[in-house]
Structure 1
Amino acid sequence: MKKGKAIFGDMSGYKQQVCFLGLALMLFSCSPKRDGIISRTYNAVTAKYNILYNGHLAFEEGLEELNASYQDNFWELIEIEPLAFDTSISVLSEITSTNNPQAKSENKNATSFEKAEEKAVKAIQLHSINIDGTERNSQMDDAYLLLGKSRYYTQRFAPAIDAFNYILTTDPKANLRDETKIWRAKANIRLNNESFAIETLSLLLRDPSASTEIKEQAHTALAIAYQKKGNIQETIRQLNLATRTLKNVQQGQRNLFVLGQLYALQNQKDLAKKVFLKLVNFKKASYGFKIHAQIEIAKNESNNKAIAPLLLKFKKLLSDGTNQQFEGELYYQMALLEASRDSTELAIDYLKKSLQSKSMTAYHKTYSYEKLGDIEFKKANYLIAGKYYDSILKINKNIQDPRIRTINRKHKGLANLLQLEGVLQNNDSILNIVSMPKTAQRSFFEKHIAALKAADEQRVQQALNSSSFGNSSGGVSAAQPNSKGKWYFYNTQLVAFGKAAFEKQWGNRPLEDNWRISDKAQLNTDKSTNVKEEINKASYNLSTYMSRIPTNRAVIDSLRFYRNEALYETGIIYKEQFKNLSLAALRLERLISLKPDKDLILPSYYQLYQVYKELNHPKAETYKNEIIKNYPSSRYAEILTDNKGFISDNKDNDIESLYKDLYQLFKENYHREVVSQIDQLSPMLQESKLIAKFELLKAFAIGKYQTKEAYKKALEFVSKNYANLEEGIRAKELLKQLK
């Protein structure tokens, strides 16, 4: 028995050894360093259903976060790939560099994409079977693709390309090779390697085995590459090819929208409407894209008969409470539709509603302000237009933006105009009073004082009404016979009313002297007079106004001089900058009627000649003859009597070359030659945009060898005729320095 037990015990030990050896053999077979079927199966299954499964979940979560945070600006051309890269994104560089599988503790602060990268790295470190440079684990293409995409979305494009290249070089039979090529191309586009991306994607599209989904993705990536290269026609072609299938709904709707926008930018409105209509009818497209597609259809509508149905459609959309987030954009587009059929008042009304909408961001409101400004500008309401443009510049001060730069330039021109108009209005008013007889002056100011008193009385009454309490008459009444107390302060209800009314008007004031004045630092306690009453007494006194009427001849002449200057300069601005020839003619004609100084008469005649010539008005010939007859030796007469032809706009490059040559002569001190050549060229320069530069150069040359008076006269010519241009402003500054 003892012997049997010993034998049995030995047998148990043997079995344990066999089990141990079997287990060791199995673990050895599953090692990622061996290329057996057991190893490949075990590592593939473990990687797929454990680590990579969690990695894909994190990646999808990252995509959802990205899409939720990304806001398309439908007021401009949207991106084909909806990415807004954030330079603050952290990078788990230690994960990709470590060889320690235990470096797997998740960073709680990591983004979803970083978590996905962590899982991909872990799968690769634990389960990659790379034998002699060939990957044997069928799931590694998935792991490396996940690794590359995660790096792509954390802005690490070069490391992403390394991950994509691993699949393409080590696993020729990988199922995800085509998708990997597309992602590698996208990463190269981000690194400005568009040519390489285009080449590889074109090769992929030639592969007959490529699936429909792969071709759609490849055409989309090619569109991104060509757009970055600035090839709009090829971008349109690739988007057309990408939108044939629309397998990827999210990307497909975006491709359609960008395609429609590009057609619109190319002024191919019918094609744009066709594409946007396709998006509206795309059942799987999101509601937001469909609404914006309908807005884009309206933007590209040129048929007046279609405007009424579009307005009805938008009104119906606005009546639906679910469209509140699109309210501002819908009102704005309705305004554009009304403006296109000259319904200006309705357009203004809709634009104001768009500004009041909560769905409009501050940036988007600049479009409504701009349209309102343009409408008022067209109506010659320049003061109102200037205020709207000012509102835009308070919101957006980015002068690098071409649109904002244009608005800023227009706003500056308006600011200059409004300043001159202010001088004109002020001086006109004063000179008008100066020209009245004494009795008329007194009558004028008596009416002004009466109106002032009436306005002050009305303000006082309004203040009393707002602070009144007690009875309905607005005054503080005594307690009624049935009240608890006959005196006001015995009635607690009236006291409560009184406190409320006091706090409403004065706020919570401490019990102290001069409690009415909130800023005691400005109070001079030594003065017991009521400043407000003193001001009122002065404003009600006729002598206050009569004493301020100018009587000194020099002062009155100065008012006339600056009034006339303002008339001339506003006339030039209306003519040159705002192209409002009618207003320009009115200003200059009025100036002539006022018989200004001689130095304004001749340039005004010449400006009126140019205005009426452009208007094809017979007065052009009248002013031309006036200049030639009465000022035959003037510079203007020389221009008008010389019959040499004009240089057309298409020869501006030649004119610029001439200017450079003359400027070089000026620098070499050939001043007489410069003046002589400009005089010879002058008749041919009248239609050139560079004429002001030539005239200023001539003035500088004259200043080098002629008298000071001749130099001043040349500068005056530039300042008067090109007052709105940089050269005119420079000449005016130099004249001030000379004086």
Structure 2
Amino acid sequence: MRRFLTYIFLLATLASCSQFSKKPASVAFHNINAKYNALWQAERVEKELIKKIQEDQKENYRNLLPIFYFPPTQLAANYKSDVDKIIKKASLVIDRHQNSHFIDDAYLMIGKGRVYQADWKNAIETFKYVNSIDPDETRQITSLLDLFKVYIQTNEFQEADRVNEFLLSFDLNKAQKKDFYLLKAWYSQKKQEPLQMIALLEEALPLINNTSEKARILYILGQVNFLQNREAQAITYFQRVSENKSNYDLAFQAKLAIYQIKDNEAEILKMLKEGKNEEYKPFLYVALGQIYYQKNDFNQAKYYWELGAKNADQKGELFLQLGHLFAKQFRKPKEATIFYDSAMVYLNNSHPEYQEIKTSSDKWKKFGGLLDEVHLNDSLLTLSTKSDAELMQIYTKAIASKIQKNDSSRVNSIKKIEIPQINFVRRQSTPEQQSFYFYNDLVRLRGEQEFIGKYGSRILEDFWNRKTKNNIINTSETSSTIGPNTALPNNALAITNKNQSKESVKDSSTIWLESIPRTPKEIALTQKKIEKSIFESGKFAKFDLEDNTLAKEQLQVLLKRFPQTEFEAEALYLLYLSEVNEPKEREVFKKALIEKYPESHFKTLLIKNETGTLSDNKELEAQKLYEKAFNLFKEGQFEESFRICINLDNQYPGSHLEDKIVFLKALNKGALKDFSAYENFLNLIVQSFPKSKLKAEAEARLKTIKNR
């Protein structure tokens, strides 16, 4: 009987522990297991994860720090195991403790896990769900704050505004107010509203108890005040950071910022000598370089940045500064490209300027290529004036010089321009890239340099590694030997092995001699290449590099070297656009364009630039005049039709019919057998109106012209 009663008691106890029971004993049992087992373990893993993320976080003190930091999406995989544990532990509460009071806490924890995974969509849905089912105000506020944070992170500002309105309806406690003010300040930071950001951070400061968190907000306040030219306020905030001993990194950066604002080179040099700052030397060299950069002493800035790049472990920022220096001040494309590429090697691809650096590298590489084309063809023209005997003498000297050079000097030839040796190293690639060498451009570039160092430059052909195959002289290496204006052209052949056969030398010289223009037609073609490359470099500098000074330099070289250039109208227009600070010079180019090229489309663009868009009434007038011109064309009155097109440009610049007017001009010139103008107008359609429906027909007509 006693045993029977024991069984009955055990069954009753187990029944009371059912997760669907509402009995006090059952609810208490599941509350304890949910909070002090599953959720406690999830929170413990989350704390460790936050610690890992903070350790991995690399602050870029040169830029305004973000108020909140999220790991880059590509790094989310690094934390996958921890996040999986968090979600798994939190899910146990939902699966096994349905009657506990901590179901919503479990969903909130799962939502946080989604955030750590950068799974924004599911994180949003989770926080919305908690807010919709939980009557508890504290949990509602928590879910709304988390939702607000995700919307700001994903730049969904309209949705963020709605959440902000909801939060304003609650009476927030001190901790909630702190988070709310910081989130709103971050929102203002994202929307580039610095003054509002400052006000919100100042509201949040008294509510922050954690000293490390407070130091970071003080540092951000120093940064944003400095960016607003409020130097006195910036120094005050930086001083408060430097007095805070909770974070040496921030204290060091704040102290450095104060010295930099005050141009106090002596104090920074003193910091360089302190042993505790050994690992911080890159920041000190960056600061010293920036002090001299602001003084327009670019050579001294270069000195400090190069010094830092030679001795520092963290070279990315220094290479970035050097890239900007050689691009924007020295305007040396090759050197700028080298430093930008090196910066990408050392900087993480989550760096805020990473994509901008890559774009800058590509742009300066292309600009440098245009200048190389000019230099190469100038060299060819110089060589074309030499006799056969003189050419063979030049060739022989180049070969002799090439033989004397050590292979390693080819790889290290960058030292000639007095910049540090760049060591390209493999940057951590994504899982997909790890297995395929050619997906990583920087690693491939390093391999290319190693190849050149071992084998020399080789043309792409079968059996390239045979000793008797011909090698290639690199233009940059032979120009200094032959003279500044007689560099051997690309693909000119050189010999790096003293034991190569005489027949091989003869073949090489023949190929090189054949690359030199000798006939009037070849010389004219080379001149045309130079003319086009100079024009393209000026145009590229204006629109892609956005460097008006460089654009003016190249375009003025074009007009001086080629007074009758076919690109004169467009060059005058570009010079007009580039003279933003000199109204008198601008007027000179405007007058020259209007007087010399009254029929040019670039004159129309110039007028459009000054008059703005047309009214609806003017558009209607332009439509009627265009119909008249088109009817005249159909009647065979081509000259009168063309004249009306010119009037259309003058009276209604920038109308919606702009592409049709240019195309009608082309048709009229074609009918009048002025094929040069016909081709120019068709090219204008293709280049200036890429979205026009007439582009395809213009391309087809151009193709017909070329096939004639």
Shift of residue 278, structure 1, vs aligned partner = 3.1
Q: Name the aligned partner's letter for residue 164 of structure 2.
A: I
CA RMSD across the alignment: 6.2
Taking a change above 3 Å as real, the CA distance of residues 447 and 261 of structure 1, as seen in their structure-2 partners, is same
Match of 2:248 in 1: 287
TM-score, length basis structure 2: 0.61
Shift of residue 385, structure 1, vs aligned partner = 3.0
Taking a change above 3 Å as real, the CA distance of residues 321 and 251 of structure 1, as seen in their structure-2 partners, is same
Match of 2:377 in 1: 427
Structural mapping, 1:653-664, within 5 Å: 653-654=613-614
Contact 1:260 1:271 survives alignment (8 Å): yes
Q: Name the aligned partner's letter for residue 251 of structure 2.
A: K
The answer to whether 1:332 aligns with 2:286 is yes
Q: Deviations over 1:672-729 (max 9, x none)?
A: 699666633645889xxx69x98765431222344254463165379799999979xx
Contact 2:145 2:180 survives alignment (8 Å): no
Which of 707, 712, 718 lines up with 2:670 in the alignment? Answer: 707
SS at match of 1:707: helix
Match of 1:8 in 2: none
Q: Name the aligned partner's letter for residue 281 of structure 1.
A: E
Structure 1, unaligned runs of 5 or more: 1-12, 92-106, 129-139, 170-176, 463-506, 508-518
Structural mapping, 1:354-433, within 5 Å: 355=309, 359-360=313-314, 364-365=316-317, 368-369=319-320, 371-389=322-340, 414-415=364-365, 417-433=367-383
Which of 165, 182, 202 lines up with 2:168 in the alignment? Answer: 202
Q: Name the aligned partner's letter for residue 400 of structure 2.
A: K
Match of 2:555 in 1: 584
Taking a change above 3 Å as real, the CA distance of residues 316 and 450 of structure 1, as seen in their structure-2 partners, is same
Contact 1:331 1:351 survives alignment (8 Å): yes
Contact 1:569 1:723 survives alignment (8 Å): no
| Counterpart-to-counterpart distance in 2, 1:583 and 1:575 | 10
Stretch moving more, 420-429 or 600-609: 600-609
The answer to whether 1:111 aligns with 2:111 is no
Q: Deviations over 1:546-578 (max 9, x none)?
A: 787654333233333433444555455567764
| Counterpart-to-counterpart distance in 1, 2:578 and 2:187 | 50
Shift of residue 435, structure 1, vs aligned partner = 3.5
Q: Deviations over 1:291-350 (max 9, x none)?
A: 444566578x3xxxx12x2x4444444444554554444433433232111231232234
Contact 1:328 1:360 survives alignment (8 Å): yes
Q: Deviations over 1:5-62 (max 9, x none)?
A: xxxxxxxx99x99999999999999999567xxx79x959x96799628844651442
| Counterpart-to-counterpart distance in 2, 1:354 and 1:318 | 11
Structural mapping, 1:46-65, within 5 Å: 52=36, 55-56=39-40, 58-65=42-49
SS at match of 2:562: helix
Contact 1:610 1:620 survives alignment (8 Å): no
Shift of residue 186, structure 1, vs aligned partner = 1.7
| Counterpart-to-counterpart distance in 2, 1:655 and 1:215 | 51
Tell which structure's C-alpha radius of gyration is larger: 1
Q: Deviations over 1:193-225 (max 9, x none)?
A: 5456434543444x7xx4x44432443344456
SS at match of 1:289: helix
Taking a change above 3 Å as real, the CA distance of residues 442 and 288 of structure 1, as seen in their structure-2 partners, is same
| Counterpart-to-counterpart distance in 1, 2:257 and 2:105 | 37
SS at match of 2:207: coil
Number of aligned residues:
589
Structural mapping, 1:121-520, within 5 Å: 128=100, 140=101, 143=102, 146-155=105-114, 156=123, 158-159=125-126, 168-169=135-136, 178=138, 180-189=139-148, 192=151, 194-195=160-161, 197-205=163-171, 210=173, 212-223=174-185, 234-263=196-225, 271-284=233-246, 286-294=247-255, 301=261, 306-307=262-263, 309=264, 311-320=265-274, 322-323=276-277, 326-353=280-307, 355=309, 359-360=313-314, 364-365=316-317, 368-369=319-320, 371-389=322-340, 414-415=364-365, 417-435=367-385, 438=387, 442=389, 445-446=392-393, 449-450=396-397, 452-453=399-400, 455-457=402-404
Shift of residue 242, structure 1, vs aligned partner = 0.9
Q: Name the aligned partner's letter for residue 534 of structure 1.
A: K
Contact 2:626 2:648 survives alignment (8 Å): no
Structure 2, unaligned runs of 5 or more: 115-122, 152-158, 410-453, 455-462, 470-496, 634-640
| Counterpart-to-counterpart distance in 2, 1:228 and 1:30 | 50
Taking a change above 3 Å as real, the CA distance of residues 668 and 268 of structure 1, as seen in their structure-2 partners, is farther
Shift of residue 427, structure 1, vs aligned partner = 3.1
Q: Name the aligned partner's letter for residue 680 of structure 2.
A: E
Which of 679, 695, 702 lines up with 2:646 in the alignment? Answer: 679
Q: Name the aligned partner's letter for residue 555 of structure 2.
A: A
Q: Name the aligned partner's letter for residue 381 of structure 2.
A: L
Structural mapping, 1:506-585, within 5 Å: 522=466, 532-534=500-502, 537-538=505-506, 550-570=517-537, 578-579=547-548, 580=550, 581-585=552-556
| Counterpart-to-counterpart distance in 1, 2:37 and 2:678 | 83
Stretch moving more, 336-345 or 616-625: 616-625
| Counterpart-to-counterpart distance in 2, 1:583 and 1:258 | 42
Contact 2:302 2:325 survives alignment (8 Å): no
| Counterpart-to-counterpart distance in 2, 1:622 and 1:20 | 104
Q: Name the aligned partner's letter for residue 332 of structure 2.
A: N
TM-score, length basis structure 1: 0.59
| Counterpart-to-counterpart distance in 1, 2:569 and 2:622 | 28
Contact 1:226 1:232 survives alignment (8 Å): yes
Which of 641, 659, 680 lines up with 1:716 in the alignment? Answer: 680
| Counterpart-to-counterpart distance in 1, 2:588 and 2:14 | 107
Q: Deviations over 1:512-548 (max 9, x none)?
A: xxxxxxx8985899xxx9971326753998x998787
| Counterpart-to-counterpart distance in 2, 1:256 and 1:558 | 64
Taking a change above 3 Å as real, the CA distance of residues 567 and 701 of structure 1, as seen in their structure-2 partners, is same
Taking a change above 3 Å as real, the CA distance of residues 289 and 451 of structure 1, as seen in their structure-2 partners, is same
Q: Deviations over 1:474-525 (max 9, x none)?
A: xxxxxxxxxxxxxxxxxxxxxxxxxxxxxxxxx9xxxxxxxxxxx8985899
| Counterpart-to-counterpart distance in 1, 2:602 and 2:163 | 64
Contact 1:259 1:272 survives alignment (8 Å): yes
Contact 1:80 1:224 survives alignment (8 Å): yes
Q: Name the aligned partner's letter for residue 449 of structure 1.
A: T
Contact 2:572 2:592 survives alignment (8 Å): no
